[in-house]
Amino acid sequence: MKRRVVVTGVGTINSLGHNNKETFEAIKNGVCGIDRITAFDTTDFKVKLAAEVKNFDPNEYLDKKVASKTDRFIQLALIAGREAYNDANLDEVDKTRMGVNVSSGIGGIDTIETNHSKGLKKGMERVSPFFVPNAIVNMAAGQLAIATGAKGMCTCVVTACAGATNAIGDGFRVIRDGYEDVMLVGGAEACITPLGVGGFSALKALSTSEDPKRASIPFDKERNGFVIGEGSGILVLEEYEHAKKRGAKIYAEVIGYGTSCDAHHITAPLEDGSGGQKAIENALNDAGIQPGDVDYINTHGTSTYLNDKIETKAIANVFGKDVVISSTKGNHGHCLGATGAIEAIISIDAMNENIVPPTINYQVVDEECYLDVCPNTPRQKDINIILSNSLGFGGHNATVVFKKVK
């Protein structure tokens, strides 16, 4: 018998705020967390904007020894993970039945760049002994397990920008099938570095706008690329009876998860939207619901020409044109391997407050993006079921469905 799975804790740090409360207040108030890059000198870069975590000193959140020996993406995961852990009040749970799955698309790229430069100057055997543990993508999960004492499964999904949604879905299945009772799931990313920005810029994936309010503009006809963001989102998933028994607060129930692969191109999605459509259909079937049961869709909505046009097709192929969608990447940028978790947390908050988060800074209608994108202003709506999409380079598609617990 499949077990029910609920969300009992959330935590996030991103360009909008250092916790969940700050983040959702910013969403409701239409705050744009995008600004000029401060992490490095952009004089010779076409790309000038990013969604950086602001006013961030890891020593204020972490033990100084941990802060000094960890890459930024690990620090962000530990901060969001600790918020989620404390929110769910997990101190007394059986840690042998608690696991971790934290995604990252890039991992410790700042560590790689810094140590490569040092190695070129002083010799490669003079790099930091912490180089490898900080560079490898699984270490956010490993460090979070150490910090929380989680002794169940500990893993890391690496599926580019679909990663955090895959982590949520995979954690959901692990609990539903009885392997664990609690999972800390999500993603972390920190690649606003010269090589990170340069690489995406060379791919012509990033917006070159210098106006923060016209850079990340999902579904707008003038969109010209995504704005890279950083941050982390971690959710605590828990078996329903386990959560009830200990009197845990319940944010939402996870009721469905679907995946698919375009098997088409390393960066471009299938033109007809059938890849993303399949993930959506798989999630709906897994949840045992019909398209008409979904009240709101949080889209991947990257502000790239192809993604927004093709995701519109994928959604319309399943739901028709009478569905409310939005993208919050105009607020927090595209956080790559963390984005699905940050957006899932925002979506759950929206569901519980019956608010559709707006697609901010939307101005010019695109006839190829013809769905209701809830432009610029939050909308009151009774939301009982939400669906969140994430799509990644390599053709990865992931969809997760949440339901309000009344």
Structure tokens, 186: 């999500």
Q: Are 331 and 31 in contact (CB under 8 A)?
A: yes
Compute the half-sphere exposure of residue 297: CA atoms within 13 Å on the CB side of its CA. 29
In 10 A of CB 261, how many CB atoms?
A: 16
Q: Is 334 among the residues known to form the active site?
A: yes
User: One-letter amino acid identity for 41?
Assistant: D
**How many whole angstroms separate alpha carbon 374 and alpha carbon 360?**
9
What is the DSSP secondary structure assignment for residue 365, as one 8-state letter?
B
φ/ψ of residue 375, rounded to 5: -70, 130
Structure tokens, 313: 């097709």
**How many whole angstroms separate alpha carbon 389 and alpha carbon 32?**
21
Q: Where are the alpha helices (DSSP H) in 149-287?
A: 163-176, 194-202, 240-245, 274-287
Q: Is 396 among the residues known to form the active site?
A: no
The single residue of 18, 300, 332, 396 carrying the catalytic annotation is: 300
**How many whole angstroms separate alpha carbon 289 and alpha carbon 315?**
16
| Local structure of 93: helix, strand or coil | coil
Structure tokens, 86: 């404390």
φ/ψ of residue 128, rounded to 5: -65, 140
Q: How far is the first Cα of the chain from the last one, in angstroms, to the nearest whole number? A: 23
Contacts of 401 (CB under 8 A, 6+ apart): 254, 255, 256, 257, 283, 284, 286, 287, 289, 294, 385, 386, 387, 388
**How many whole angstroms separate alpha carbon 141 and alpha carbon 293?**
34
- β-pairing, 252-261 vs 182-189, is unpaired
Q: Is the dihedral of CA 117, 104, 55, 41 positive or negative?
A: positive
The single residue of 334, 369, 374, 396 carrying the catalytic annotation is: 334
The single residue of 32, 154, 161, 369 carrying the catalytic annotation is: 161
Catalytic residues, by residue number, are: 161, 300, 334
